[in-house]
Structures are given as C-alpha cells and as structure tokens.
Amino acid sequence: MAAIVGYGAYVPRYRIKVEEIARIWGKQAASISSGLYVFEKSVPGIDEDTATISVEAARRAVKHAKINPKEIGAIYVGSESHPYAVKPTATIVAEAIEATPELTAADYEFACKAGTAGMQNCIALVKSNMIKYGMAIGADVAQAAPGDALEYTAAAGGAAFIIGKEGIAEINDTVSFTTDTPDFWRREGEPYPGHGERFTGEPAYFKHVMNAAKMLMEKLGTKPSDYDYAVFHQPNGKFPMRVAKKLGFEKKQIEDGLLCPIIGNTYSGSSMLGLAAVLDVAKAGSRIIVVSYGSGAGSDAFDITVTDKIEEYERQGIRKMLENKEYVDYATYMKLRREFE
Amino acid sequence: MREVAIIGIGMTKFGELWDKSFRELVAEAGIQAILDAGIEGEEIDALYLGGMSTGRFIGQEHVGPLAVEVAGLEDLHLPATRVEAACASGGVAMHQGFLAVASGMYDIVVVGGAEKMTDVVGGEATNILASAADREWESFFGITFPGLYALIAKYHMHKYGTTQEQLAMVAVKNHYNGSMNPKAQFRRKISVEDVLKSPLVADPLHLLDCSPITDGAAVAILAPLDIAKKYTDKIVKIKASALACDTLSYHGRKRFDSLPAAVEAAKRAYKMAGIEPKDVDLAEVHDCFTIAEIIAIEDLGFVEKGKGGKATEEGLTALDGEIPVNTSGGLKAKGHPVGATGVAQINELVMQLRGEAGERQVKDATIGLAHNVGGSGGTAVVHILEAI
C-alpha cells in the first residue's frame, strides 16, 4: 500500500484581477470571467520562482507530516517553468529541506501533470520498498504571452506531497491515459507557450481527463456517487466543472478542490493544490478521485481514501492562506513577472 | 443548352472535426452523394471541387487530383478542376458543373466543396480569410472581414435605422433552425440578449453575429434532366445558375448598402428561371455575418432596400414565415467551411425540395434559391432549384 503522509501548499500572495488584464487589452472582463469562470490569479513576487515555491511547499509538507527529512529517498519536482533548463530544481528543494545527500532526485516535465507523474513514481518506489518516503512536487510560475488568452489564467503556486506506506490518505490505485496530442507546447528557449486554442478543449483536456477517470472507475468498479470529493485539473474554472458534469459528478463534490477561480491556473500545481485543499476539509473515510491533465497529452487518475490519521494531522488551511493577498496593477504584475528585464 | 438536374447530395457534419483531414471530409461527402444518386464511380465524367484556401489552411494546393485519388477514379483519368472564388468557391464550382452538363460536354458531373479550417491557430484563419479582400488596398491596412461587414452594418443602421436587435434576430432565427439540423455546427438556441451580451468583435458585430470557423465538405451530383429520371424519382432541376462579379475591394463599389454583384446575379437568375422573387418558397443565403443576411434578402428582392431588418423582426424569413431563409441554420449556425458553403446550401435546398428536411421541412416547397457570396461581394452566385 502507498499513502499520503503529508502535504504542503504554497501560493504567492500577490493577485491580479481579470478586469485589470482585460482593461489593458480592451477586452470585456465580464465575458472573460464568466467564460473562463476565473476572477483573479496569483502572481509570483519578484524573488519567487518554481524553486522557491517548491521549497515553501516542501517545508510545509515536512513540518506537518512530522517526519525526518533524511528519510525522504526521492524528490521529484514537476514543472514547466524550472528556473534552469539544465540543473535540477529538485536538488535545491532537497538541500533546503535537509534531505541530502542520500536520495534520488529529478525534475519532471509533462506540461501540467508532471507533479502527479512524480507522485506515481514515488508510489512505485515506496511499494517496491526502494525508499521509505518520496516527495512529489508540482509547481509553476506559469508563463503566458502578454495579450494571449492564457494571460487571464497563468498563475503561480505549488503543492508537495510526501508518499509513504501509511499516512493520512491511502492511495488505492492510479492509472494513466496518454496519447501524442499537440495541444499546448513550448520549445526550448521560447519564453511563452503556444497552444491550439479550441483544440485544447475537446480532443485534449476533455478526452484525456474523461478517459483517465473512466478507466480508473472501471478498474475499481466505482461510480461518481462513491466519491465524496473530486478534483480535476483546472486550466480555468469552467473545464473541471464541465468535465465533472459530463462524468456524472455533482457540483458539491468538486467545490472544495476548485481553486482556479480565485488563484488561476498554477499549471503543474493545479490538480495537486486542489487535492491539498480537499485534504484540508476531508474526514476519515472520505473517498477522493483526482485527475490531472498535462498537455501533449495525458492524465493521471488517483483513487484515494482518507484514513483515521487525518484527525490528528495538523492541516495547513490553504483557503485561509489564500485570504492573505495583495492586489497589483498590470504594470506591477509585469514588473513582478520580470517582463521588463 | 441542356436542362440540368441534381441527382445526388452528400454532406459531412459541419464543425470542429479535429479527427478528420481534408481528404477524409472529401471522401465522406463524396461517398454519401454517390450512394444517394445510386451511380457507379465509372459513370462520372468530370469533377469540380470548390476550396477557398486549401494551400494556406492545410498547405495543400492541387486538390483536384486529390479528389480523384480519394474517389479511386485515377484509372479513368477523370478531368478534375479546383475552383476558387473565396467563400463563393462552392457556388462557382456549382456554376461550372452546371455549364459542363448544360453544354453537353459531360453527363454526370460531381461538384464538391470542402475546407479544413481548424488546423491553423491565432489570427491566421482571420488573415487567410482576409485574402478574399483586396490585399493591397484593404487587408494590408488591417481590415478583416468582421471589420468590413461592421462597416456595412454601420452604414445600413445609419441609412435605414436597422437596429442591433434586428441584426441579433438573424442569429437567433438561424440558431433556432440549426437546432433542427443534425449536421449543424451549433444546435443551441440563443436569444437576442445572448447575442448582445457576447463579446464585441467589430462594432456593431458581436461574436454571435459572426459565422464560425468550420471544417466540412458537401457534394452535389449533376446530370442532364432527360437522364436524371433513370436515377431518382425526386428530381430537382437547376432552373438557373448565375454568376456575377464586382470590384475586389469594398471601397471600389458603386454603393455600400448592397452587394451589387448579388443584385445582378439574382436578376440574371430570375430571368433565366422565368420567375420573380415572390415565387421563391425558401432561400439559403450567405449570412457570414447577420448584416449579410439582411442585405441579402433586400438584394434578392424579397423586401425593399432598407427593410431587411424590419422584415426579419416581423418574421418574414422565419421557418414558418412567408419566405423561410436559412432553414439549415445558415452559415451562422450550420457552420461556414468557406469552400464548402455554396454546395452545402444546395444540399439544404435539395433536401427541402425533396421533402426530406425532417423537423425543419418547409411545407410544399417547390422553388428554392441559393445565394453564395465571395469576399465582401466581389463574387456572387445565385442558383434557383425547382422540384419537378
């Protein structure tokens, strides 16, 4: 068996409203907000990047899990905005949380699902007794070209999960659905991702998320009503709501994990932050389905049952953290994103 | 000149067909039409294929032989011609097919139209479509088709008091009709409020005033009337096929509240058919933007110049109105794969005239008219069909 031993989340405190971005580009904020179901997004501080966000999330996970970081045998950081093209973020995290030197570490990239791919590897290493604990992080300071549709959602944040044999939530199973689908990409050296616009919907996000969810439920013989909570990758607020409806989930099952409307799309952090927000409120016995999505394209689905151990676990209170925020205007946003350098 | 009939039709579903290539679209519509006509491939004498900008949408020119290959008729060395006239490519292909049969040169002629538009992203589709305007004097300076039709709409509103609500009513009607067309891209009914609340594209045109980007193909098979009976009992005759052109640029026109080429094409078609506008039972018109339908029903003589908005508001063109317009959903709701549109309009008329239009069937439809426009009116094609 493999289980979540602890989790930690971090989202920078700066926010920019959709209205403010729309004002600059002469767009109608109301139709963008209602179209995307996103109202504001997080913005990294000028000294924040995927490494600092990963470290913040990792520290919180270790603190709340109350484990010895030296016992972490693997750290994987999934991101599409690693600060270095060559030189791992994972080693920075490992050093910062004092997990070095007896561990394996690597950076992953699979668009927005690299973090959950890391989780799957940690599960495998734990189950095969190669390591005691593994840490998987999904974090991003998401890139979007100024003026592009992505700019309304591309946000910053991340979550870290510690995987071990026993913990606050058992991971009953995980499956993946993967194809070669070029819906969203960024070539080496390019500052911003390109995307296929509406092609990123039906043949990309919906196809993969729905197939992964169905595969998992078919394998386990479960149905939507068996789950107390559902988390689907959140490129915007609308897609996870629509996919939930299509699969037969109700709104109340996805509400707790739906952070995108207030923080935007944290790319690799998105579905993992959603899961963290659910664990903040879940009870012993709660069953959770999580489906990530990474462009290119694939989805990882997880079936999770919360254990009694959650009762004594000091939860982070992610929604509380998100209340501490400061709004910035577009020029400040551009400065913080270092667009003027 | 021989009389010409349509003996078979075929059409793919219109929409964002991510998993279908241009080749597959052509094959699908072609096979449907051949089955509908009940002909053998070997009976085909010639092929005309309308495509506006296959070269820029999918990097493939020379689509005539592509269609021959798709049809598996390479051993016949079938004469195949690709026809380009912007958004009127399909209509002009129909005109060419008509001439080929009427002249006695060919008997069985397959006319197709196809476009695969969703493989390009960003402003590329808008830019490609803008190549139907005058590149040197219009497109280079940044005007796009929504921009051009917005100018036309503004002028019409200024001169005749046409309102934004009346524009919206065109979209509402066409979405309603489209909701009954299984092959339409949009089958969702919308309200005037939905249109007015949708994002502004080019003032006064909102998103829901504009036809979408669409993949699709349509085919019609023509034959001389005297042998058409061999293939079908439900004969639809091409009573008129008329083509008229004008300046490429919008600013070069003699008037701005009308598309003079469409007026002329209609005049020629009515004369050829020996009918008047009031004899038309239903029409498929080129509603690339809502204002385009208002101008079309005026140019076709269904209403006086300037009264198109009011007539739409009063329900003249509704499915149960005096002259139902765009029963298929039109370009607005059915979708607008530019090169296919002219042939798709013919598909709808043939279905209506055969009484096979299902829920959206117009009662006792005998005469149908198709109005297909290229660019801002540089090309206009009008076909009049009759059930006999």
Q: Are residues B62 and B181 in the same domain?
A: no
**Closest chain A CA to residue B19:** A203
Contact A299/A233 with Cβ under 8 angstroms?
yes
For chain A positions 164-203, those within 8 Å of chain B (CB to CB) are 194-199, 202-203
Kindly state which CATH superfamily the domain A173-311 is placed in.
Answer: Thiolase/Chalcone synthase (3.40.47.10)
- Nearest CA to B376 out of B90, B150, B56, B142 is that of B150
Q: What is the pLDDT, as a whole number, of residue B181?
A: 98
Q: Are residues B66 and B144 in the same domain?
A: no
Nearest CA to CA, how far is B16 from chain A (Å)?
9
DSSP B318: S
Examine the residue annotation and report whether A260 is marked as an active-site residue of this protein: no
Q: Are residues B40 and B187 in the same domain?
A: no
Q: Is residue A312's pLDDT more than 90?
A: yes
Choosing among B116, B118, B121, B126, which should be mutated to test the A contact, i.e. which has the most A CBs within 10 A?
B121
For chain A positions 13-52, those within 8 Å of chain B (CB to CB) are 27-28, 31
Helix pair B22-37, B63-71: axis angle to 10 deg: 50
Distance CA A241, CA A259 (A): 12
Q: What is the pLDDT, as a whole number, of residue A341?
A: 80
- Tell me where in chain A the CATH 3.40.47.10 domain(s) lie: 2-168, 173-311
Residues from chain A contacting residue B122 (CB–CB below 8 Å): 197
Q: Are residues B192 and B272 in the same domain?
A: yes
Q: What is the pLDDT, as a whole number, of residue B33?
A: 98
pLDDT digits (tens, 9 = 90+) for A251-299: 999 999 999 999 999 999 999 999 999 999 999 999 999 999 999 999 9
Residues from chain A contacting residue B198 (CB–CB below 8 Å): 31
For residue B318, what are its two tokens?
């509704």
- Nearest CA to A299 out of A290, A308, A311 is that of A290
**Pairing mode, strands A229-232 and A287-291:** parallel
* Residue tagged active-site, from A48, A56, A80, A151: A80
Q: Are residues B183 and B71 in the same domain?
A: no
Helices vs strands, H then E, count in chain A: 12, 14
Could you give the C-alpha distances from B245 to A229, B29, B379, B381, in angstroms and in order? 62, 29, 4, 9
State whether B18 and A195 contact (CB < 8 Å): no
> Per-residue b/e over A211-223, b at no fewer than 16 CB within 10 Å?
bbbebbbeeeebe
Contact A281/A170 with Cβ under 8 angstroms?
no
Residues from chain A contacting residue B121 (CB–CB below 8 Å): 194-197, 199
How far out from the chain centre does Cα B286 lie? 6
Give the number of domains in chain B.
2
pLDDT digits (tens, 9 = 90+) for A75-119: 999 999 999 999 999 999 999 999 999 999 999 999 999 999 999
Q: What is the pLDDT, as a whole number, of residue B122?
A: 78
B73: domain CATH number is: 3.40.47.10
3-class secondary-structure state, position A106: strand
Per the document, the length of chain A is: 341
Q: Are residues B269 and B368 in the same domain?
A: yes
For residue B234, is it within any domain?
Answer: no
Residues from chain A contacting residue B199 (CB–CB below 8 Å): 27-28, 31
Residues of chain B falling short of pLDDT 70: none
For residue B335, what are its two tokens?
């979708």
Please give the sequence-ordered ranges of beta strands (E in DSSP) within B145-293, or none if there are none.
Answer: 200-202, 205-206, 215-224, 236-245, 282-284
Give me the total of CB pairs closer than 8 Å, taking one residue from chain A and one from chain B. 21
Look at residues B228, B262, B291 and tell me which one is the last residue of a structural domain.
B228
Q: Are residues B192 and B68 in the same domain?
A: no
Residues linked to residue A289 through DSSP beta bridges, in sequence order: A230, A303
For residue B127, is it within any domain?
Answer: no
**Between A27, A195, A203, which is nearest B18 by CB?**
A203
Distance CA A34, CA A90 (A): 37
Distance CA B4, CA B178 (A): 29
Residues linked to residue A298 through DSSP beta bridges, in sequence order: A178, A294
Whole-number average pLDDT of chain A: 97
**Closest chain A CA to residue B213:** A198
Q: Are residues B249 and B155 in the same domain?
A: yes
State whether A202 and B199 contact (CB < 8 Å): no
Q: Are residues B296 and B191 in the same domain?
A: yes
A194-202: long-range contacts, CB 8 A cutoff, minimum separation 24: A194/B121, A195/A150, A195/A295, A195/B121, A196/B121, A197/A149, A197/B121, A197/B122, A198/B16, A198/B118, A199/B16, A199/B18, A199/B118, A199/B121, A200/A235, A200/A295, A201/A239, A202/B16, A202/B18
**Closest chain B CA to residue A32:** B199
Nearest CA to CA, how far is A35 from chain B (Å)?
10
Domain that holds residue B318: 132-211+239-387
**Closest chain B CA to residue A202:** B18
**Closest chain B CA to residue A204:** B18
For residue B233, is it within any domain?
Answer: no
Please give the sequence-ordered ranges of beta strands (E in DSSP) within A182-292, or none if there are none.
Answer: 184-185, 194-195, 229-232, 287-291
- CATH architecture, domain defined by A2-168: 3-Layer(aba) Sandwich (3.40)
Q: Are residues B163 and B14 in the same domain?
A: no
Nearest CA to CA, how far is B233 from chain A (Å)?
42
State whether B200 and A28 contact (CB < 8 Å): yes
State whether A199 and B200 contact (CB < 8 Å): no
**Pairing mode, strands A72-78 and A104-108:** parallel
Q: Are residues B162 and B294 in the same domain?
A: yes
pTM, to two decimals: 0.89
On whether any CB of chain B is under 8 Å from the CB of A147, the answer is no
Distance CA A110, CA A78 (A): 7
For residue B168, is it within any domain?
Answer: yes
State whether B18 and A202 contact (CB < 8 Å): yes
For residue B177, is it within any domain?
Answer: yes
Residues from chain B contacting residue A194 (CB–CB below 8 Å): 121
Q: Are residues B102 and B143 in the same domain?
A: no
Distance CA A217, CA A233 (A): 17
